[in-house]
Structure 1
Amino acid sequence: MNSSLNHSTLLKIDILSDVVCPWCVIGYKRLQKAIQELQLEDKVCIEWHPFELNPQMSPEGENLRSHLAAKYGTTLEGSIAARKHLTELGAELGFRFNYFDEMRMYNTRKAHLLIHLAKEKGLQTVMSEALFEAYFSNQKDISDTEELVKVAVQVGFNEAEVCYVLNDRSLTEMLQSLQGKWLSNDFNGVPAFIFNYGVTLTGAQEINTFKSVLTRVIAEELV
């Protein structure tokens, strides 16, 4: 899939997502599958946009089960069932959810800074995938600067460049401003997928739903 617009691109997809959102993983993987099945990899440009589910989260984070219980009223039984369901869905899509009892919810602001950094080099999708994997598959603290540097270096970035971005106050303010624009346009949750600045799907839709929208929007571009 293209990560920057070019003369052959027919479809721009904006993805509003958070790194610690399992349904963002499922939604993206289903979209990816739909694009592959329609053989549109070279016709699509994806851009990722920041949405912090917990912008006030403390640096040390919170136990994930405790966090979900306090925020959504999720019971222990509900949590166990949800983790099992997500793990099964992930496996079907080639993604490994590796939940554990002491898993924590983290502040994701610095992770979003990395995704923003990756935009210039056309590596946003690679970076987003790497961060999803770091948190959900490899049990990493994706609020920790050291861990984020490791992820970014593996993606192909220079360590000094990464450290600068993660500590740049002006970039953090810019990130918060970007999020504010989405909120002001009534985007209050993730994932959200916007096709060619118009058709919008929210939530982790089924593969066939994504295929239907992709087919329709591509057809409109070819008219």
Structure 2
Amino acid sequence: MKVEIWMDIVCPYCYIGKRKFEEGLEKFEHRDSVEIVYRSFEVDPHMPINANDDIYGLSAKKFGSTRAHMKAVHDDITKRAELDGLTFHYDTAIHTNTFDAHRLLHYSAQFGQTNELLERLYKAYFTDSLHIGDVNTLVTIAGEVGLDVAETAAMLESEQYAAEVRADELKAQKLGIRGVPYFVINGKYAISGAQTKAVFTEALQQAWTEEHPIVQIHSALGDKEAPSCLDGSCAVKH
């Protein structure tokens, strides 16, 4: 069973949604049979690598609001994240472009390190206030999760995996995805936003049941009048 997850590293609900999905997956009996594929989505593709303002000022300009209002919004998000054991430091966060970080995630897939890298990138941005748009920072983070530093640096200096990022974003556009996180199970069931773990567990179970239906074996191979337990009582034919 395949779950595709469109997300961005600077998206708080993508980080929260990842936790919720993982909790829901843990309750799913067939979790070891689930393949998870992370897809790229930039919430602000025009954001420069080195922005000239902090997250509050940038958000105020983007949404036509005030700095004070956007700080209150981000304070609420921080409190929400705490409920899932996540620590956000928006006062010192370095907001930036995430295109190269997405290229790095695609690169990591061949080494089976995507989940570990994504976790580290989220923590780097939200908790550690690192500049995840900076190539040197990305190389250091890659090394922390076991990727070769020299090879990672060479990849980031090239245009490798740019096409893969754009392909994910084009697919999102075709699917009508306008916000993240966005989860697609078996190409059929879609879940938008950081839902509860119960929602994810139920959706996984529904997709699994549809993919593995129970086949009834009727009287051609057995006695359909054979004794069985019904309505709380068991009857045996004599």
Task: State the match for 1:161 in structure 2.
Answer: 151
Task: State the match for 1:17 in structure 2.
Answer: 7
SS at match of 1:15: strand
| Residues 1:88 and 2:58 aligned together | no
Q: How does 1:139-154 map to 2 (within 5 A)?
A: 139-154=129-144
Task: State the alpha-carbon separation in 2 of the partners of residues 150 and 196 from structure 1.
Answer: 35
Task: State the match for 1:69 in structure 2.
Answer: 60
SS at match of 1:138: coil
| TM-score, length of structure 1 as denominator length | 0.87
Task: State the alpha-carbon separation in 2 of the partners of residues 148 and 170 from structure 1.
Answer: 15
> Contact 2:94–2:130 at 8 Å: present in 1 too?
no
Task: State the alpha-carbon separation in 2 of the partners of residues 152 and 219 from structure 1.
Answer: 38
Q: Which runs of 5+ in 2 are unaligned?
A: 214-238
For structure 1, which segment, 147-156 or 169-178, has the greater mean C-alpha deviation from structure 2 after superposition?
A: 169-178
Task: State the match for 1:203 in structure 2.
Answer: 193
Measure how far apart 1:39 and its partner are. 4.6
| Residues 1:121 and 2:101 aligned together | no
Task: State the alpha-carbon separation in 2 of the partners of residues 209 and 71 from structure 1.
Answer: 32
- Which structure 1 residue ranges, 4+ long, deviate > 4 Å from structure 2? none
More helix by share: 1
The two structures, once aligned, show a CA RMSD in angstroms of 1.8
* Higher Rg of the two aligned structures: 2
| Residues 1:194 and 2:167 aligned together | no
> Contact 2:103–2:160 at 8 Å: present in 1 too?
no
Taking a change above 3 Å as real, the CA distance of residues 116 and 194 of structure 1, as seen in their structure-2 partners, is: same
> Contact 2:106–2:161 at 8 Å: present in 1 too?
no
| TM-score, length of structure 2 as denominator length | 0.82
Task: State the alpha-carbon separation in 2 of the partners of residues 162 and 128 from structure 1.
Answer: 15
> Contact 2:93–2:125 at 8 Å: present in 1 too?
no
> Percent of aligned positions with the same letter in both sequences?
28
SS at match of 2:72: helix
Task: State the alpha-carbon separation in 1 of the partners of residues 87 and 212 from structure 2.
Answer: 37
SS at match of 1:181: helix
Task: State the alpha-carbon separation in 1 of the partners of residues 113 and 29 from structure 2.
Answer: 21
Q: Which runs of 5+ in 1 are unaligned?
A: 1-10
SS at match of 1:104: coil
Task: State the alpha-carbon separation in 2 of the partners of residues 117 and 172 from structure 1.
Answer: 10
Measure how far apart 1:99 and its partner are. 2.0
